[in-house]
Chain A
């Protein structure tokens, strides 16, 4: 492993505490990923990235900054990467997925805040994540009350820009989101000093579409009854895609998809035929949150799809590439992003349609609907989700959890019983 200590020190990180984090990660990676049998060889890329998750990519970002490029940290799949990339900027995901950061978040936030928000704030204020140190500007959005208020606190410590996501999906809301994108573009131009043109935006739209297609190709392989990749590995790929360079991400996902397609042709599966196929839906699973997948996949199930922001919501739907003026392109972006079905919208029946469609496409035996604690939006939608699934004759298990391991035993019992129920 390369020595990144100097880089971390230069970033003003809390070295002592960060060492504690670095110590637990290899064990977690070993337990969750490396212990699996018959993994696709192309996972070597993600194994390497995760083994030095606070080293390799942060070092690249710092190099880019030295060349004058700006790094934008984001928290939501509604923030359009295309706009940033058009202005030669770089986007990195910032969502915190570890209990490690929660106590630092709780110093300033109420305990009854969702762990993702607490961990994200904790990672910044506790100075224990290089990505949170590197980002020149944070781009927030109004997709939940917890984040809205947390951004006010983060904004005291780092330049913060907020995009106002509509709460409904009427024609005027799509127009409003288009205006928000256009305004964001102005902000990005100002911050980077690069003018966004129809040409560079068309190019970045293409880059991100290619990334979406590559992710979709891997997911497509998971629809096969002959399952060529575990849910854990697919989740890791998706999680890392929020941090990686989009063109390399597409290249690596396509390389993985090549291998998976070959595996399907040759009948190579990572699980036995009686393994129950599970669709998980709900709140995002930010890296390194692998708890749910790990329990499901060590209890007789395999996760074949995630209807989540760290899943299909990230890559489904492409931006129309035929538009030639900025105005039309902003509209095309708005139309694509507004197709994403987040629980912050009302009504949000599109998400139910997505879940029913995905359950069919991925040939699932059951659905696990899991939300992070204190996420009122996804928690409330469980009622409608479970009713729709029951009406469709698809078994569903609703769960709520956080980043702590304290409830792992209870989750294992519920998930184990659910999988037994499917047999």
Chain B
């Protein structure tokens, strides 16, 4: 595989990873925290509903996991495609 092909494959794998992360990012904050909150109102969490929990706490926790997950996955991709430093 030439360098150019390898770096194309690396880049599309990166883009795929980003799309998955962005989808989760949007789902927990804009989705569960804002848009779907009325749908989740039946699920109660400590005196309020699941949507409130996602808006004030849950989404932040998911964001942290997302960044470290992305960093881990990219380190692996870097090595697989031989583009690490």
A complexed with B: no
Q: Which residues of A come within 8 Å of B, CB atoms? A: none
